Structure 1
Protein backbone atom coordinates (compact mmCIF):
# COMPACT_ATOMS: atom_id res chain seq x y z
CA UNK A 1 0.00 0.00 0.00
CA UNK A 2 1.50 3.35 -0.99
CA UNK A 3 1.85 6.28 1.40
CA UNK A 4 -0.69 8.47 -0.42
CA UNK A 5 -3.37 5.80 -0.11
CA UNK A 6 -2.66 5.39 3.62
CA UNK A 7 -2.83 9.18 4.12
CA UNK A 8 -6.15 9.39 2.24
CA UNK A 9 -7.64 6.55 4.31
CA UNK A 10 -6.46 8.17 7.54
CA UNK A 11 -7.88 11.56 6.46
CA UNK A 12 -11.28 9.94 5.70
CA UNK A 13 -11.26 8.11 9.05
CA UNK A 14 -10.44 11.33 10.88
CA UNK A 15 -13.16 13.27 9.02
CA UNK A 16 -15.79 10.69 10.02
CA UNK A 17 -14.56 10.79 13.62
CA UNK A 18 -14.65 14.61 13.83
CA UNK A 19 -18.03 14.89 12.08
CA UNK A 20 -19.53 12.99 15.04
CA UNK A 21 -18.58 15.79 17.44
CA UNK A 22 -21.35 18.39 17.88
CA UNK A 23 -20.88 22.14 17.53
CA UNK A 24 -21.66 24.02 20.74
CA UNK A 25 -20.72 27.66 21.21
CA UNK A 26 -21.06 27.21 24.99
CA UNK A 27 -19.50 24.00 26.28
CA UNK A 28 -20.85 22.60 29.58
CA UNK A 29 -19.88 24.88 32.50
CA UNK A 30 -18.73 27.65 30.10
CA UNK A 31 -20.35 30.74 28.58
CA UNK A 32 -19.24 32.86 25.63
CA UNK A 33 -18.59 36.38 26.92
CA UNK A 34 -17.93 38.32 23.71
CA UNK A 35 -16.37 38.51 20.29
CA UNK A 36 -14.43 41.74 19.79
CA UNK A 37 -13.49 43.04 16.34
CA UNK A 38 -9.80 43.97 16.27
CA UNK A 39 -8.38 44.97 12.92
CA UNK A 40 -4.78 43.88 12.42
CA UNK A 41 -4.67 41.74 15.55
CA UNK A 42 -1.16 40.33 16.03
CA UNK A 43 -0.92 38.92 19.58
CA UNK A 44 -2.83 38.25 22.78
CA UNK A 45 -1.75 37.40 26.31
CA UNK A 46 -3.43 36.84 29.66
CA UNK A 47 -2.34 38.67 32.78
CA UNK A 48 -1.15 36.25 35.46
CA UNK A 49 -2.42 38.65 38.15
CA UNK A 50 -5.92 39.62 36.96
CA UNK A 51 -8.72 38.27 34.77
CA UNK A 52 -7.64 40.56 31.93
CA UNK A 53 -6.55 39.91 28.35
CA UNK A 54 -3.99 42.08 26.56
CA UNK A 55 -4.73 42.41 22.84
CA UNK A 56 -2.03 43.75 20.52
CA UNK A 57 -2.76 45.00 17.01
CA UNK A 58 -1.07 47.14 14.37
CA UNK A 59 -2.78 50.12 15.99
CA UNK A 60 -1.78 49.58 19.62
CA UNK A 61 -2.88 47.66 22.69
CA UNK A 62 -6.19 47.06 24.45
CA UNK A 63 -6.89 45.52 27.83
CA UNK A 64 -10.14 43.60 28.22
CA UNK A 65 -11.91 42.40 31.36
CA UNK A 66 -12.59 38.75 30.51
CA UNK A 67 -15.51 38.51 32.95
CA UNK A 68 -17.68 40.91 30.96
CA UNK A 69 -15.81 41.68 27.70
CA UNK A 70 -15.39 45.37 28.56
CA UNK A 71 -12.36 47.23 27.18
CA UNK A 72 -10.76 48.89 30.19
CA UNK A 73 -7.60 50.41 28.72
CA UNK A 74 -6.33 51.39 25.28
CA UNK A 75 -3.25 52.93 23.73
CA UNK A 76 -2.36 53.66 20.12
CA UNK A 77 1.39 53.02 20.07
CA UNK A 78 1.99 50.77 17.09
CA UNK A 79 5.17 49.24 18.50
CA UNK A 80 7.76 50.34 20.97
CA UNK A 81 10.17 49.03 23.56
CA UNK A 82 7.11 47.60 25.35
CA UNK A 83 6.94 44.83 22.69
CA UNK A 84 9.46 41.97 22.54
CA UNK A 85 8.85 39.70 19.53
CA UNK A 86 11.85 37.50 20.36
CA UNK A 87 10.92 36.70 23.97
CA UNK A 88 7.19 36.86 23.16
CA UNK A 89 6.35 39.36 25.88
CA UNK A 90 4.69 42.74 26.13
CA UNK A 91 4.49 45.36 28.83
CA UNK A 92 0.90 45.60 30.05
CA UNK A 93 -1.21 48.74 30.07
CA UNK A 94 -3.77 50.21 32.45
CA UNK A 95 -4.18 48.20 35.66
CA UNK A 96 -1.45 45.74 34.54
CA UNK A 97 1.04 48.37 33.33
CA UNK A 98 3.73 47.01 35.65
CA UNK A 99 3.33 43.42 34.40
CA UNK A 100 5.34 41.77 31.63
CA UNK A 101 2.76 39.59 29.85
CA UNK A 102 3.62 36.47 27.88
CA UNK A 103 2.03 36.72 24.42
CA UNK A 104 1.14 34.43 21.53
CA UNK A 105 0.41 35.32 17.93
CA UNK A 106 2.15 36.06 14.66
CA UNK A 107 5.64 35.34 15.99
CA UNK A 108 4.69 32.12 17.76
CA UNK A 109 4.27 31.45 21.42
CA UNK A 110 1.36 29.72 23.00
CA UNK A 111 -1.23 29.88 25.71
CA UNK A 112 -2.03 26.93 27.98
CA UNK A 113 -4.18 24.37 26.13
CA UNK A 114 -5.28 22.61 29.33
CA UNK A 115 -6.39 23.93 32.71
CA UNK A 116 -6.44 22.71 36.31
CA UNK A 117 -9.90 21.20 35.75
CA UNK A 118 -8.24 18.90 33.17
CA UNK A 119 -10.26 20.52 30.40
CA UNK A 120 -8.36 20.83 27.12
CA UNK A 121 -8.60 22.57 23.78
CA UNK A 122 -7.69 20.59 20.67
CA UNK A 123 -7.07 22.07 17.21
CA UNK A 124 -7.64 20.24 13.92
CA UNK A 125 -7.29 21.45 10.34
CA UNK A 126 -9.18 19.02 8.11
CA UNK A 127 -10.21 21.91 5.84
CA UNK A 128 -6.93 23.81 6.08
CA UNK A 129 -6.46 26.79 6.29
CA UNK A 130 -9.65 26.73 8.36
CA UNK A 131 -8.98 25.48 11.89
CA UNK A 132 -11.49 23.91 14.27
CA UNK A 133 -11.07 24.28 18.03
CA UNK A 134 -12.65 21.59 20.19
CA UNK A 135 -13.37 21.79 23.90
CA UNK A 136 -12.68 18.50 25.69
CA UNK A 137 -13.71 17.91 29.32
CA UNK A 138 -11.66 15.95 31.85
CA UNK A 139 -9.98 12.96 30.22
CA UNK A 140 -11.70 13.32 26.85
CA UNK A 141 -10.37 13.80 23.31
CA UNK A 142 -12.01 14.40 19.92
CA UNK A 143 -9.30 12.32 18.27
CA UNK A 144 -10.13 9.08 20.09
CA UNK A 145 -13.54 7.62 19.27
CA UNK A 146 -14.42 6.19 22.68
CA UNK A 147 -13.25 9.40 24.44
CA UNK A 148 -15.37 11.94 22.51
CA UNK A 149 -18.28 12.06 24.99
CA UNK A 150 -19.15 15.67 25.92
CA UNK A 151 -16.52 17.11 23.56
CA UNK A 152 -17.72 19.87 21.26
CA UNK A 153 -16.46 22.13 18.49
CA UNK A 154 -16.54 25.70 19.78
CA UNK A 155 -14.81 27.61 16.97
CA UNK A 156 -14.02 27.37 13.27
CA UNK A 157 -11.95 29.99 11.41
CA UNK A 158 -8.36 31.00 10.55
CA UNK A 159 -6.94 30.71 14.07
CA UNK A 160 -3.97 32.88 15.02
CA UNK A 161 -3.68 31.62 18.62
CA UNK A 162 -5.84 30.13 21.36
CA UNK A 163 -5.73 28.94 24.93
CA UNK A 164 -6.74 29.20 28.56
CA UNK A 165 -5.94 31.97 31.00
CA UNK A 166 -3.31 31.16 33.62
CA UNK A 167 -6.00 30.53 36.25
CA UNK A 168 -7.93 28.26 33.84
CA UNK A 169 -11.17 30.27 34.12
CA UNK A 170 -11.10 31.92 30.68
CA UNK A 171 -10.56 30.88 27.06
CA UNK A 172 -9.47 33.22 24.26
CA UNK A 173 -9.32 32.41 20.56
CA UNK A 174 -7.86 35.01 18.20
CA UNK A 175 -7.89 35.47 14.45
CA UNK A 176 -6.24 38.35 12.60
CA UNK A 177 -9.48 40.33 12.92
CA UNK A 178 -11.15 39.39 16.21
CA UNK A 179 -10.87 37.69 19.56
CA UNK A 180 -13.54 35.55 21.24
CA UNK A 181 -13.59 35.07 25.01
CA UNK A 182 -15.36 32.47 27.15
CA UNK A 183 -15.56 32.27 30.95
CA UNK A 184 -16.01 29.27 33.17
CA UNK A 185 -19.22 29.33 35.18
CA UNK A 186 -18.61 29.14 38.91
Structure 2
Protein backbone atom coordinates (compact mmCIF):
# COMPACT_ATOMS: atom_id res chain seq x y z
CA UNK A 1 0.00 0.00 0.00
CA UNK A 2 1.49 3.38 -0.98
CA UNK A 3 2.36 5.79 1.81
CA UNK A 4 -0.31 8.48 2.20
CA UNK A 5 2.26 11.13 3.15
CA UNK A 6 3.57 10.96 -0.44
CA UNK A 7 0.14 11.65 -2.00
CA UNK A 8 0.74 15.42 -2.35
CA UNK A 9 4.01 14.75 -4.19
CA UNK A 10 2.35 12.13 -6.42
CA UNK A 11 -0.40 14.62 -7.33
CA UNK A 12 2.15 17.36 -8.05
CA UNK A 13 4.17 15.08 -10.34
CA UNK A 14 1.02 13.86 -12.11
CA UNK A 15 -0.29 17.41 -12.67
CA UNK A 16 3.03 18.94 -13.75
CA UNK A 17 3.20 19.52 -17.51
CA UNK A 18 6.03 18.07 -19.58
CA UNK A 19 8.48 20.82 -20.56
CA UNK A 20 12.07 21.11 -21.79
CA UNK A 21 14.87 21.36 -19.25
CA UNK A 22 15.34 24.90 -17.85
CA UNK A 23 18.39 27.14 -18.27
CA UNK A 24 21.29 26.56 -18.26
CA UNK A 25 20.27 23.36 -20.12
CA UNK A 26 19.69 23.61 -23.87
CA UNK A 27 18.17 20.99 -26.16
CA UNK A 28 21.03 19.97 -28.47
CA UNK A 29 19.42 17.08 -30.36
CA UNK A 30 16.17 15.16 -30.68
CA UNK A 31 16.86 12.06 -32.76
CA UNK A 32 14.58 9.25 -33.87
CA UNK A 33 16.55 6.01 -33.49
CA UNK A 34 14.50 2.90 -34.19
CA UNK A 35 15.48 -0.05 -32.06
CA UNK A 36 17.67 1.93 -29.65
CA UNK A 37 19.32 -0.58 -27.33
CA UNK A 38 21.97 1.15 -25.22
CA UNK A 39 23.91 4.36 -24.71
CA UNK A 40 27.14 5.14 -22.91
CA UNK A 41 29.28 8.21 -22.26
CA UNK A 42 33.03 8.44 -22.51
CA UNK A 43 34.54 9.23 -19.10
CA UNK A 44 36.26 12.45 -20.11
CA UNK A 45 34.09 14.27 -22.65
CA UNK A 46 30.61 14.71 -24.07
CA UNK A 47 30.76 11.90 -26.63
CA UNK A 48 27.87 9.43 -26.40
CA UNK A 49 28.01 5.98 -27.98
CA UNK A 50 24.55 4.85 -29.15
CA UNK A 51 23.81 1.21 -30.05
CA UNK A 52 20.65 0.39 -31.99
CA UNK A 53 19.35 -2.53 -34.04
CA UNK A 54 20.87 -0.91 -37.16
CA UNK A 55 24.36 -0.19 -35.85
CA UNK A 56 26.24 2.24 -33.64
CA UNK A 57 26.76 6.00 -33.67
CA UNK A 58 28.72 8.56 -31.69
CA UNK A 59 26.89 11.78 -30.82
CA UNK A 60 28.70 14.94 -29.69
CA UNK A 61 26.29 16.05 -26.95
CA UNK A 62 27.56 19.65 -26.91
CA UNK A 63 26.69 20.22 -30.58
CA UNK A 64 24.11 17.48 -31.14
CA UNK A 65 26.04 16.30 -34.21
CA UNK A 66 26.55 12.68 -35.21
CA UNK A 67 30.34 12.34 -35.53
CA UNK A 68 30.66 8.62 -36.36
CA UNK A 69 28.52 5.77 -37.69
CA UNK A 70 29.13 2.02 -37.88
CA UNK A 71 26.65 -0.47 -39.31
CA UNK A 72 28.40 -3.48 -37.80
CA UNK A 73 26.77 -6.58 -36.34
CA UNK A 74 28.48 -5.79 -33.00
CA UNK A 75 25.49 -3.89 -31.68
CA UNK A 76 25.74 -3.85 -27.94
CA UNK A 77 27.75 -4.44 -24.83
CA UNK A 78 29.22 -7.60 -23.37
CA UNK A 79 28.09 -9.26 -20.15
CA UNK A 80 29.94 -6.56 -18.20
CA UNK A 81 27.89 -3.87 -20.02
CA UNK A 82 30.99 -2.59 -21.80
CA UNK A 83 31.89 -2.23 -25.46
CA UNK A 84 34.71 -0.81 -27.55
CA UNK A 85 33.92 2.59 -29.05
CA UNK A 86 33.94 3.63 -32.71
CA UNK A 87 35.20 6.75 -34.50
CA UNK A 88 36.69 9.19 -31.96
CA UNK A 89 36.01 6.61 -29.22
CA UNK A 90 37.72 3.75 -31.08
CA UNK A 91 40.47 3.29 -28.48
CA UNK A 92 38.07 3.56 -25.53
CA UNK A 93 35.99 1.01 -23.61
CA UNK A 94 32.56 2.51 -22.89
CA UNK A 95 30.22 1.48 -20.04
CA UNK A 96 26.73 1.10 -21.50
CA UNK A 97 23.25 1.57 -20.08
CA UNK A 98 20.08 0.29 -21.66
CA UNK A 99 17.99 -2.74 -22.40
CA UNK A 100 20.41 -5.08 -20.57
CA UNK A 101 20.84 -2.92 -17.46
CA UNK A 102 23.47 -0.49 -16.28
CA UNK A 103 22.96 3.17 -15.55
CA UNK A 104 24.15 6.69 -16.17
CA UNK A 105 25.13 9.13 -13.40
CA UNK A 106 22.00 10.40 -11.61
CA UNK A 107 23.58 13.59 -10.25
CA UNK A 108 26.15 16.22 -11.20
CA UNK A 109 28.92 17.63 -9.02
CA UNK A 110 27.01 20.92 -8.72
CA UNK A 111 23.76 19.32 -7.52
CA UNK A 112 21.47 18.66 -10.52
CA UNK A 113 19.70 15.29 -10.10
CA UNK A 114 17.35 13.10 -12.11
CA UNK A 115 14.59 10.82 -10.86
CA UNK A 116 12.62 8.20 -12.77
CA UNK A 117 9.27 7.89 -10.98
CA UNK A 118 6.58 5.32 -11.84
CA UNK A 119 3.21 6.52 -10.55
CA UNK A 120 1.06 4.12 -12.59
CA UNK A 121 2.93 1.39 -14.42
CA UNK A 122 4.12 1.44 -17.19
CA UNK A 123 4.41 5.25 -17.35
CA UNK A 124 7.76 6.58 -16.17
CA UNK A 125 7.86 10.26 -15.21
CA UNK A 126 11.37 11.60 -15.88
CA UNK A 127 12.19 14.49 -13.55
CA UNK A 128 15.08 16.94 -13.39
CA UNK A 129 15.66 18.32 -9.87
CA UNK A 130 17.46 21.63 -9.39
CA UNK A 131 20.55 22.03 -7.18
CA UNK A 132 19.80 22.49 -3.48
CA UNK A 133 16.46 20.75 -3.81
CA UNK A 134 15.29 17.27 -2.94
CA UNK A 135 12.21 15.65 -4.43
CA UNK A 136 11.08 13.84 -1.28
CA UNK A 137 11.06 16.76 1.13
CA UNK A 138 12.25 20.27 1.68
CA UNK A 139 15.98 20.64 2.14
CA UNK A 140 17.32 23.83 3.70
CA UNK A 141 13.67 24.94 4.13
CA UNK A 142 13.21 25.14 0.35
CA UNK A 143 10.44 23.44 -1.63
CA UNK A 144 11.34 20.80 -4.19
CA UNK A 145 12.18 22.49 -7.49
CA UNK A 146 11.75 19.97 -10.27
CA UNK A 147 10.84 19.80 -13.95
CA UNK A 148 8.99 16.97 -15.70
CA UNK A 149 11.00 16.35 -18.87
CA UNK A 150 9.00 13.40 -20.20
CA UNK A 151 6.54 10.61 -19.54
CA UNK A 152 7.76 7.47 -21.30
CA UNK A 153 6.91 3.78 -21.57
CA UNK A 154 10.25 2.25 -22.61
CA UNK A 155 13.14 4.15 -21.06
CA UNK A 156 16.52 2.65 -21.95
CA UNK A 157 18.68 5.19 -20.11
CA UNK A 158 18.23 8.52 -18.32
CA UNK A 159 21.05 10.48 -16.77
CA UNK A 160 24.09 12.69 -17.06
CA UNK A 161 27.51 12.45 -18.63
CA UNK A 162 30.39 11.91 -16.22
CA UNK A 163 31.37 15.57 -16.60
CA UNK A 164 27.84 16.73 -15.73
CA UNK A 165 27.58 18.86 -18.87
CA UNK A 166 25.18 16.61 -20.79
CA UNK A 167 21.84 15.01 -19.97
CA UNK A 168 20.19 12.31 -22.08
CA UNK A 169 16.85 10.54 -22.29
CA UNK A 170 17.07 7.37 -24.37
CA UNK A 171 13.90 5.41 -25.16
CA UNK A 172 13.25 2.48 -27.48
CA UNK A 173 12.90 4.89 -30.42
CA UNK A 174 14.19 8.33 -29.50
CA UNK A 175 17.17 10.14 -28.04
CA UNK A 176 16.91 13.57 -26.40
CA UNK A 177 20.19 15.32 -25.68
CA UNK A 178 20.55 18.39 -23.44
CA UNK A 179 23.81 20.22 -22.87
CA UNK A 180 25.20 23.16 -20.93
CA UNK A 181 28.42 25.13 -21.00
CA UNK A 182 31.31 24.32 -18.67
CA UNK A 183 31.13 27.84 -17.24
CA UNK A 184 27.65 27.05 -15.82
CA UNK A 185 29.08 24.18 -13.80
CA UNK A 186 29.42 25.52 -10.28
CA UNK A 187 30.92 23.32 -7.59
Q: TM-score normalised to the size of structure 2?
A: 0.86
| CA 1:54–1:172: 2 relative to 1, 3 Å | same
| Structure 1 unaligned blocks of 5 or more | none
* 1:17, distance to aligned residue in structure 2 (A): 3.6
The correspondence for 1:33, drawn from 4, 12, 28, is 28
| CA 1:148–1:180: 2 relative to 1, 3 Å | farther
Q: TM-score normalised to the size of structure 1?
A: 0.86
Partner of 1:118: 111
| CA 1:136–1:49: 2 relative to 1, 3 Å | same
Does structure 1 residue 76 correspond to structure 2 residue 55?
no
**RMSD between aligned residues:** 2.1
* 1:149, distance to aligned residue in structure 2 (A): 4.1
* 1:107, distance to aligned residue in structure 2 (A): 0.7
> How many residues matched?
179
| CA 1:103–1:148: 2 relative to 1, 3 Å | farther
- Give me the whole-angstrom Cα distance separating, in 2, the residues matched to 1:135 and 1:11: 18
* 1:141, distance to aligned residue in structure 2 (A): 2.3
Partner of 2:176: 180
Structure of higher CA gyration radius: 1
- Give me the whole-angstrom Cα distance separating, in 2, the residues matched to 1:161 and 1:51: 16
Deviations 1:95-138 (A, max 9, x none): 11000000000110001000111110011111321211111122
Partner of 1:44: 39
| CA 1:10–1:85: 2 relative to 1, 3 Å | farther
* 1:15, distance to aligned residue in structure 2 (A): 2.2
Partner of 1:157: 152
Deviations 1:130-179 (A, max 9, x none): 21111112231233266544321112212221110010000011001011
| Structure 2 unaligned blocks of 5 or more | none
